[in-house]
Every structure is written in C-alpha cells, then in structure tokens.
Amino acid sequence: MAGNLWKPYSRVPLLGWFFGALVAVTLERLAGAPLAQFLGLQKIPVLFGFSDMLKTPVSIPNVLLYLLAVYVVPAAAVTRLGASPANGIAAALYRFPMAVTAAVHLALLYAVLHVWAGASDYRVLVLRLTLIAVMLTLSLNVINGYMGEFSCSHPGFMALGAYCASVLTIGLFVDAELFGAASLSPALGRFLFPVALVLGGLLASFGGLFVAIPSFRTRGDYLAIISLAFLFIVKSLIENLEFVRGPRGLSGQPDWADLPTVFLWTVLCVWSVNNFVRSTIGKALNAVRDNEMAADAMTVDTRKTKIAAFLFGAFWAGVAGGLFAHVMRYVNPGNFGIQNLAEVLAMVYFGGLNSVYGSIVGAVSISLLGEALRPLEIFKWIIIPLLLILVMIFRPTGLIAFRDLDVASLLKPKANPGEGG
Amino acid sequence: MRTRSWVAVCVLAGGLAFFLSGTVQAQTIKIGINAELTGDIPKVGEGTKYAAQMWLDDVRAAGGLAVKGKKYPVELILEDNESKAESAVKAATKMITEDGVLVMVGPQASKQAVPAGGIANNYKTPMITPWSTNPDSTKNRPYVFRACFLDPFQGPVLANFITSEFKFKKAAVLYDVASDYPKGLAEFFKKAWEGLHGPGSVVAYESFTTKDTDFSSQLTKIKNSGAQVLFTPQYYNEVALIVQQAHQLGWKNPIVGSDSWGSAETVKLCGKDCYGLFFSTHYAAAGATGATKAFIDRYKAKYGYVPDDVAALTWDAMHLVQKAIQDTGGLTGDLKKDRENVRAAMGRIKKFKGITGEMTFSGGGDPSKCAVIVRISDKGQFEFYKSACP
Amino acid sequence: MAVFLQNLVNALQWGSFYALIALGYSMVYSILMLFNFAHGDIFMVGSYIGVGVSMALIALSAWGNVVLPNWLILVLTILFSMFLTSFVGMIVERVGYRPLRNAPRASAAITGLMIGIILETGNLALLGARRVSFPSLIATATYDLGGVFVTNKKIMIVLVSLLLALALHQFVRRTKWGMAIRAMAFDFSVVPLMGVPLNRMIALTFALGSALAAAAGILFGVAYPVLDPYMGILFGWKAFVAAILGGRGSIMGATLAGFLLGFTEIFVAMIFPSTLRDLIAYSIILLILTVRPHGFFGEPYSARLRL
C-alpha cells in the first residue's frame, strides 16, 4: 500500500518537490492564520507545532490536522500532479549550463525558505542560526570526517573569525566608544561586509596553521589534545585582550547578517566544500585517513593535504563565526567553549561522516530538535543525548555517511518527458 | 470506510479542542521568563524560576492582576536559555514574536542578557534583567531595565568602607578573569582604591578562570605581597573555597566581598572560615525585617533553602513589572501600545520599595539603589553593618 | 624559597587529582584504544556518591550508638564509594561502549560525551541545582613549617593518591588479571583466543578506572568541599590532556603527567601574571607535544585510526 502510494513520487524531480513546498508555504501565508484560528490554535504552529503539542497535549489532533491541511496534502498533490510538467521544465533547464540550472533551483529553494520564514521572525532567526550550524558542521566534517582526525579546535577558529569580523565592522562602520568614530559610512558597509567575513576566515585559517603544523608529526589522540590546547589558548587570549573588552564581550555589530546573506554564504560554503572533497585533494584526504604511510608511498603529498584541509576547514569555521557574531550582534569568549565543541561534534557524527548530505542533515536536525523540545526544559538534555547514543549504536558512522553530493544527478529530470510521465 | 472514520475522529477532536480553547479566551497578561535552567549556572535559573512562580502564586491567589479595577489572568512563559547566548536570543525572539509576551524578565547573566536585550529593544518590548551588571545590557536601549546596581557604584563603596573602617593602605584583589561580573567589579575597585591611596596601592591583582577550584598559587602570591586586605568579588561557591584556602595558607587579614556573596549558601559551604568577614550587598538576610523577611521565610518553607540574591532580585523584578503594568492606567489590548505604555511606566517608577532596597529609575534603565555593608556574625548570620547610598 | 616550597606543596595536591583521573583514562585506553569521555562525569558521580555514603555512615553511627571515629568514616566512605562507582563505570561500558566495539573510535567518543551530558543533566534533574557541600569529616590542621603552610588534608591527599597509583601499578604487574590486561593491551585480537574473557576484562578496566575517579572525587570533596553537577567537565578534559601527555596507556606516564600538568598550572600562575595562566600553560603543552609528539612514555604512533 505504502509502496503504491510512493511509486509516483519516485519519478518527481527535485524541482517538482520545490514547487510543491512553495505551494504549501504560500498557502500557509495566505490561509494559515485563519485555519489555525479555526482549529483552535492561537497562532500558526511555528516550528511544525512541536512546542504546542508538548505544551498542551490536547491540541495534538488539531496541530496534526493543520500540518496535514497546510503542508502534507497540498505539497503531495502539487508534487504528484505537477510531476510531468516539472520533469519537462527540469529537462529544459538541464540543457543549460549547470550553473544556470543550479541557480534556478537555489532561487526556488530560497523562495520556499523566505516565504516559510516570513510568517514569523522567530522562524527567520532559527533558520539563520541553523544555516550557520550547517556551515560549521560541514567545515568540521572536512577535518574530522574526510581526513579522520579528531579536531577539538573548531570553536577556537569560530571565535577568531567572529572577533576579527566584529572588530572590522564595529571599528569601521559603527560609531562605537571603543574604537572612536566610524571612519567609513555604513552605506558602504553592506558591500564590505563580505570582505570582513573573508578576513575573519583568513585569520581563522592562520590559527589553523598552529594545529596543522604539529599534525605533520602526529595524529589521532595527540592531535586531539593539541587542538584542545589551541582552543584553551584562543579563549584565554581573547579574555586577556583589552581592546576587544575581554570577557565583557563586543556588542553593537551592525545587523547585516540577514537571511539572504546567510543563505548565500551557506550555499557558497556547501558548493566549495563539495568541490573540495570531490577534487584530487579531497581524495587525498581520504587516502591520508585510511592509511597515511600508504598514501605517502603513493605520492600523495600528506603535508600539503593536511595543511589544505586545516586551512580550508578553519576558513569556513571563521566565516561562520563572523556570521554568528552578526546574527547575535554580540560576542563573548564564553560563547566558544567546550559546550559549543560538544554540540558541533554531535552534529557531525549524528549526520554522518564523510558526507555533505550528512552534515546538512545533522546540523538541521539537531538545531531543530533543540528548538522543538524546548518545553521539556531540563529533560531536553537527556532526550537529545539518548537519541544520539541510539544513532551511534545502530549507525556508528552517522545517519548518512560516506555519500557524495552529486549536483548533476540531483538536478536531473527523473523521467523522460517523452514517455508521457 | 476506515479513512472516513479517521476523518470523522479528527474533525471531532478538533472541534472539541476548539471548544475547549474557546472558553478561556479572556485577555491574559503574558510575562516571559528567560532563565538559565541548564548549562553553566543552573542554580541561577532555578532561583529565577522559583521566585517567579512564587509571584505567580500570589497573583493567582488574588484572582489575577488588577489593572485599573479589572482583573487579568497572568501566564508565565518560561524558557530555558541553556546558559548560551544563541539560545537566549532564540528564546527571547520566540516569546516576543510567537507567545506575545508583554514583558520579558531575564536573562540573568550578562553573556545572555546583552544579546537578548538587543532583541527586546528591536521589538520594542520591555525587558528587565534582575542580575546582569554589565553596562552594555541597558546602554542605549530604552526598553531594557535592570533591578541590580552597577559595578561603577559598588567598587568605590567598598574601597571607601575598607579605608574608613580598617585604615588600610595596601589591598589585594582576586577575581575570575573569564567572567565579566567579577572582572568589572575588580577593575572598578582597583580604580577607586588607587584613587584613594595612590597608584601601586593595589599590591596584588590576581585572577583565575571560571570553574577553577584551586587558588593556592594566587593566594600564595597575595600573601607575600604585603597586602592588608583581600577583596574578592566572587560567587558564593568560589568564596567558600577562596576563604578556606587563604586561611590554610596562613592568611589572617580581613577578606572583603561584594553582593555576589549574598547567598545563604555562602556560610553553609564556607563554615566558620567566613565568620567575621564583610561584604556589600542589596539586602541582609539575617536581621531582615518586613517584606524581605517574609519573602525569605516563604521561599525557605517552599523550596527548602534560603534564597540567594538572584531569587530576591527576580522577586523585585517581578514586582517592578507588576507595578509598571498597574501604573499604565489600563491595558488597551493592543500589544504594541501596551508594551510601550509599560516601558514608559517602568521608566517613571520612583522610590519603589523592593526587598533588595529602594529603587528609582531616572531616565535610563539602571536604578539608583543603596548598598548595605553586611558582616557575617559569629553565628554565621548576615548582620546589617552600614549603608551607603549613591 | 618559601614561596617556591609553598607552591610545590600546592602543586603536589593539585596534581594528584589530575593524576588519579588521568589514570582512569589510561586504563581504558590501554585496552580499547579509546578515551572514555564520560570519565570526568564519573568523577562527579563518584563525588556525589561519596557525599551520600558518608552522610549515611554518619547517620548510621548516630543511630546505632556505635561511635565511629571520623577518620574511619572517611576511609569507609572512600572504599564504599569506589566500590559503588565501579558499577557506574561498568554500566557506562555496557550501555555506551560495548555495542560500539567494532565501530569507529570517534563514534564511541561521541557516545561517551553524550553519556556524560546525561549524567550531568540527570543529576541536575534529580538533586536540583543546589551546590552540595561535602561533609567535613576531618578538621583542618595547619602546620607552619618556616613560612610554608601545610595542612593535614594536603598530606593525606598526596599520600592517598600516590598509594592508589602504586596499588594500581602492583595490580597490573603482579596479579593474573593485571597480566591479562597487559596482554590484551599488547594484542587485542589474539589474547581472547587464549581463553581470556574479553568482556569481563574490559569491564574490569572500566571498574578500576571509575573506582580511581571516585577516590579522586572524594579527595576533591575533602579539599574543595563545593560540588556541582558540571564540576567534571573541565576537570575531565584537562585530565584527558594529562593522560595523553603521559603516553597512551602508561600508568607511570599518566601519574607523572598528571602531576606535571598541576605543576605547570601552579607555577605559571606563580611566575607570570595569573590572568595569562591558561594561555601560557597550554602554550607550553602545545610546545611539548610539537617537540615530543608522542608524549613522555608513548611509542611513536604508527597504528592508524580504526575508522
């Protein structure tokens, strides 16, 4: 029965799913509020109704009904009925250069997210932070998953990026007491913001050198504590730097990390990480992980590979840190500690090692779970670890491990439109 | 057939819930509590939660919050911010945009309160942080208030007290470098002390990092620096360790602290080592009279321990919120307007008699408040010693 | 000179905790080649169990009119708590590590981290957020030895931890079980074929490590009598640094490195401004590892990660 129901959907291209989702979220924007009211819900269930259901169990059928009426049924209907036109469009798009095809898909994806998030500022915030988590997880997966090291320094890289970008934007564009009057006009800032982020990423890369160079001679557990020591050092360094106000933290970052900006950077990050791990150097990473000596013997330049992985991973962690600072509009060395480390590690290993898909799934699911289980208060931090332990026991490498993200096959039409679909 | 019955069940259930929720549609006043229930400082979150719930019990017992003759039911929206900045921001956004709270109380620690204050200010929602002493929390933010006094006031109070009481000239400071409250206070104390006794009169300025438990190296340095008094603006759990270790290393001079000592746990954890020491605080638990004593007794009866300063400040913050709401002269039902009115009313509060002292807001979000100097008696109780006002 | 000696005494006490906890890491590592990241939290649990046991003993001696001297209560507390906590360690192994025996090591590390979070949060949910003070069983006596202040507690802590480290060393060297552990550390796959019960031996190492962590937890409670559910996190990570610094799976190395870490932290704070303590202490460790990438007693790392 389920198989029969599912069968027509196996031929829906990605584009078709996007169309379906777009219709569903548009429907929610148009008719969500009255429908929610009709069902006795106070507002549109913000994150698929999890917190409503946990808080007032009596509303569970209403929330489910709402989800069915707004998301599941319209999306399912549109996807199914629109499968063959979607395939037609996908086939037409497929003839264009890949960049164009991908851009159209991404624009559609952004439209879905934008319309969905537009219903509430809370959704926008959660989405921005989730996308940043995706970037962090991906960048850590390069080191921990693809290269197989156990690096603990990621919050440190993130802190370097966050502070560097914040100092630049506050110092140059905001009239803060700390750095004196703004020397550049804020109008210019929006264009120079990417530069600040990149510089933050570069500083993080520079920090990555301190972990990468010792990694020439050692690995595994020794590298783990080298990176851990690095994390302690960065935190202590920032606490002692008076010009970034030590433990008091820096506040007043301009509000430039809005949803389109964060989305664009995330896309850039996914794209570059995906290309990186599928390139020769990415294959070399796997070789180093599986057997360093053999890789060396097979003319893989292990030093270059290690340096590249650390610099690359640290760069994206730095950029993510910069974005994080501008979403929060406040940074404090306490934000980048052991707690943060445990969270990123959990996302990487939950989602799956050595896989771009896995990182995205891990970051999104842990972030959303953390929000959805809010009403449980303390017990949230018993449920989430338990879940992770179960995943580790039944899928030790994570949910979706060792899977390539092949953009071309992802965007391909699923059936030949000539067949009539 | 089966599908049809399913649909029927769903519709019935939906209708029932609709009916149920429809009956309680009187306008409720929602107050958000953004607290550190898990993470580094769960104790702070617990005090916040308990104090807020006690306040809610009072309001419920009175049949609701009376605003201009009309009684409104009150609901608390409690969110855990996990002692993380991003979680505090998410929780603040959620309660403001989703739950539609009228006022937000918390977060407590500056690490969370500074970014969450930015959110509250953006959405023009009044927020009051009971415990955050970082100037950034309220600076240039008309919608953000606090219930405690600021470090720039407490530092000089203590420096003056030590000078006039003991006639000392050389002081030592031991503080947590990674935590902004102790660090800020340590800096202001140093400045005030050197203003009184000339540069170099703080002969040892030592630090450690959050969660450290061994201070022997720093204390050895302090002991050998020739300091006559040790100032340590730390939390009660660290105070116990610092004082005990100092005595074990042969330190016999006075040790002076700040309002963060003001918890019953200080003496419980520290024991006889802490007897006879002085600190400045908002209120003295022993020898407390009137409302303060009533609060302490009730809290102790209900939750089994004497409340610390967080609980007391939260209690005051809840009453500040209550007073502000009552001062608005009636709720309009339009959340935006009401928030604006509450903010204006809160900014006008004068001579509010809280259990942690008298508070007056004049313009900004920081109250002017008196400090009291407390001596820990030989029975381990907090005795009122002296009071200092700005 | 007095300052130096004083700090030497301070560092001996501080280092003994790192040493005891690092030993637990090392025991598990020697066989399974993985670090039990829940170990810091087992230390915390051991400390709390210690509070419970000592309170029960005090109550018992008051109720039964059998006046137990305080030092005896302390000794009994240490022994009972070590015994009880070793079961905690074995449960952690059974739940979190045994199902993952053939999984990548990093996955087991994540399970360990998660078990740690569950232990912390579980404690928070059970006992509330209040900090617990360890009952003071022995009165502090301070001796002034020419400007160097030593307390009876400090002497006791250092002696007990050295004794425990020595006992562990003897156990591993002299007993049949110790020999089995050493053999399995040498070759994990062949030794079980010789009739050594694999699961029991692994459980034994977890039990031993956890018992040491409990001892550390109680001694910690004696020296720093303020306990909270999160006290094990930072301590655990730092002891992890010591365990690796000592060389993997080496009892001597872990003990020495534990003391060394304590000495570094204390003496850096003595010589430099203490605000820079972490910065300088961990830079030194980074440097040591850059020069000696395999710690003090570890052999060069040729085995690859089992991934």
| Contact between chains at C248 and A221 (C-beta distance less than 8 A) | yes
Residues B61 and B155 in one domain: no
Contacts of C126 (CB under 8 A, 6+ apart): none
| Contact between chains at B213 and C7 (C-beta distance less than 8 A) | no
With respect to residue A146, please indicate whether it lies within any of the assigned structural domains. Answer: yes
Residues B246 and B277 in one domain: yes
User: How large is the average pLDDT for residues A95-102?
Assistant: 88
Query: Residue C258 corresponds to which tokens in the numbers above?
Result: 């534990």
Residues B173 and B235 in one domain: yes
- Give per-residue pLDDT as tens, C76-97: 999 999 999 999 999 999 998 8
With respect to residue C49, please indicate whether it lies within any of the assigned structural domains. Answer: yes
CA distance C72 to chain A (A): 38
CATH number at residue A292: 1.10.3470
Residue A46 has its nearest CB partner, among B78, B98, B178, at: B98
Residues A125 and A114 in one domain: no
Q: Considering only CB atoms, which chain A residues are within 8 Å of B84?
A: 335, 339
With respect to residue C266, please indicate whether it lies within any of the assigned structural domains. Answer: no
B386 touches chain A (CB under 8 A): no
State which of A56-60, B260-264, C155-159 shows the largest mean pLDDT. Answer: C155-159
User: How large is the average pLDDT for residues B277-304?
Assistant: 81
Looking at residue B5, its pLDDT comes to: 57
- Give per-residue pLDDT as tens, B50-59: 999 999 999 9
Residue C3 has its nearest CB partner, among B177, B224, B240, at: B224
Residues B227 and B261 in one domain: yes
Residue A72 reports pLDDT greater than 80: yes
User: How large is the average pLDDT for residues C239-244?
Assistant: 87
Q: State the residue range of the domain holding C87.
A: 23-233
| Contact between chains at A121 and B84 (C-beta distance less than 8 A) | no
Q: State the residue range of the domain holding A60.
A: 2-118
> Whole-prediction pTM value?
0.89
Distances (CA, A) of A299 to A196, A287, B90, B302: 38, 11, 49, 72
ipTM score for this prediction = 0.86
User: How large is the average pLDDT for residues A198-226?
Assistant: 88
Residue B286 reports pLDDT greater than 70: no
B115 touches chain A (CB under 8 A): yes
List, as one string, the DSSP characters of C78-132: HHHHHHHHHHHHHHHIIIIIGGGTTS-HHHHHHHHHHHHHHHHHHHHHHH-SPPE
With respect to residue A388, please indicate whether it lies within any of the assigned structural domains. Answer: yes
Q: How many domains does chain C have?
A: 1
Please tell me the distance from the alpha carbon of residue C48 to that of residue B140, in angstroms, as a whole number.
46
Last residue of a domain, one of A102, A118, A134: A118
With respect to residue C163, please indicate whether it lies within any of the assigned structural domains. Answer: yes
User: How large is the average pLDDT for residues C227-243?
Assistant: 88
C278 touches chain B (CB under 8 A): yes
B321 vs A255, which has greater pLDDT? B321
pLDDT band at B390 (very low <50, low <70, confident <90, very high): low
Q: State the residue range of the domain holding B228.
A: 151-281
Looking at residue B243, its pLDDT comes to: 93
Residues B108 and B197 in one domain: no
Ranking A65-69, B183-187, B280-284, B370-374 by mean pLDDT, the lowest is B280-284
Contact status, residue B246 vs residue B265, Cβ threshold 8 Å: no
pLDDT band at C304 (very low <50, low <70, confident <90, very high): very low
Tell me how long chain B is: 390
Please tell me the distance from the alpha carbon of residue C55 to that of residue C42, in angstroms, as a whole number.
20
Residue C111 has its nearest CB partner, among A225, A293, A392, at: A392
B203 touches chain C (CB under 8 A): no
Which chain B residue shows the shortest CA-CA distance from A65? B10
Q: How many domains does chain A have?
A: 2
Residues A175 and A307 in one domain: yes
Residue C199 reports pLDDT greater than 80: yes
Looking at residue B4, its pLDDT comes to: 54
With respect to residue A404, please indicate whether it lies within any of the assigned structural domains. Answer: yes
Residues A108 and A220 in one domain: no
Average pLDDT, chain C: 86
| Contact between chains at A330 and B94 (C-beta distance less than 8 A) | no
Residue B146 one-letter amino acid: R
| Contact between chains at B265 and C130 (C-beta distance less than 8 A) | yes
Ranking A49-58, A93-102, B120-129, C72-81 by mean pLDDT, the lowest is A49-58
State which of A118-132, C66-80, C177-191, C241-255 shows the largest mean pLDDT. Answer: A118-132
With respect to residue B24, please indicate whether it lies within any of the assigned structural domains. Answer: no
Last residue of a domain, one of B259, B281, B303: B281
Q: Considering only CB atoms, which chain A residues are within 8 Å of C104?
A: 353, 396-397
For chain A, the distance separating the N- and C-terminal CA atoms, rounded to the nearest angstrom, is 21
User: How large is the average pLDDT for residues B56-70?
Assistant: 90
Q: Considering only CB atoms, which chain C residues are within 8 Å of A385?
A: 114-115, 117-118, 121
Looking at residue B319, its pLDDT comes to: 94
- Give per-residue pLDDT as tens, C271-290: 888 888 888 888 888 888 88
CATH number at residue B168: 3.40.50.2300
Average pLDDT, chain B: 85
With respect to residue C97, please indicate whether it lies within any of the assigned structural domains. Answer: yes
pLDDT band at C307 (very low <50, low <70, confident <90, very high): very low
| Contact between chains at A349 and C117 (C-beta distance less than 8 A) | no
Residues A363 and A403 in one domain: yes
Last residue of a domain, one of A65, A94, A118: A118
| Contact between chains at C96 and A389 (C-beta distance less than 8 A) | yes
The chains found to touch C (3+ Cβ pairs under 8 angstroms) are A, B
C121 touches chain B (CB under 8 A): yes
Which chain C residue shows the shortest CA-CA distance from A217? C293
Please tell me the distance from the alpha carbon of residue B121 to that of residue B143, in angstroms, as a whole number.
5
Residues B232 and B142 in one domain: no
| Contact between chains at B93 and A125 (C-beta distance less than 8 A) | yes
| Contact between chains at C149 and B248 (C-beta distance less than 8 A) | yes
User: How large is the average pLDDT for residues C251-272?
Assistant: 90
Looking at residue A335, its pLDDT comes to: 86
| Contact between chains at A380 and B80 (C-beta distance less than 8 A) | yes
Give me the helices (H) in chain C, please: 2-32, 39-63, 70-92, 105-127, 152-174, 176-186, 198-223, 231-245, 251-271, 277-291
Residues A271 and A361 in one domain: yes
- Give per-residue pLDDT as tens, B199-243: 989 999 999 988 888 898 899 999 989 899 999 998 878 898 999
Q: At what angle do helices C105-127 and A338-351 cross, to 10 degrees?
A: 130
Residues A45 and A144 in one domain: no
Residue B317 reports pLDDT greater than 50: yes
Q: How many domains does chain B have?
A: 2
Residue A328 has its nearest CB partner, among B9, B86, B210, at: B86
Residue A5 reports pLDDT greater than 80: no
Residues A113 and A214 in one domain: no
Residue A197 reports pLDDT greater than 90: yes
B3 touches chain A (CB under 8 A): no
Residue B95 reports pLDDT greater than 60: yes
Please tell me the distance from the alpha carbon of residue B190 to that of residue C284, in angstroms, as a whole number.
31
With respect to residue B23, please indicate whether it lies within any of the assigned structural domains. Answer: no
| Contact between chains at C269 and B218 (C-beta distance less than 8 A) | yes
The chains found to touch A (3+ Cβ pairs under 8 angstroms) are B, C
pLDDT band at A125 (very low <50, low <70, confident <90, very high): very high
Last residue of a domain, one of A90, A118, A146: A118
- Which percentage of chain C shows pLDDT scores above 70? 96
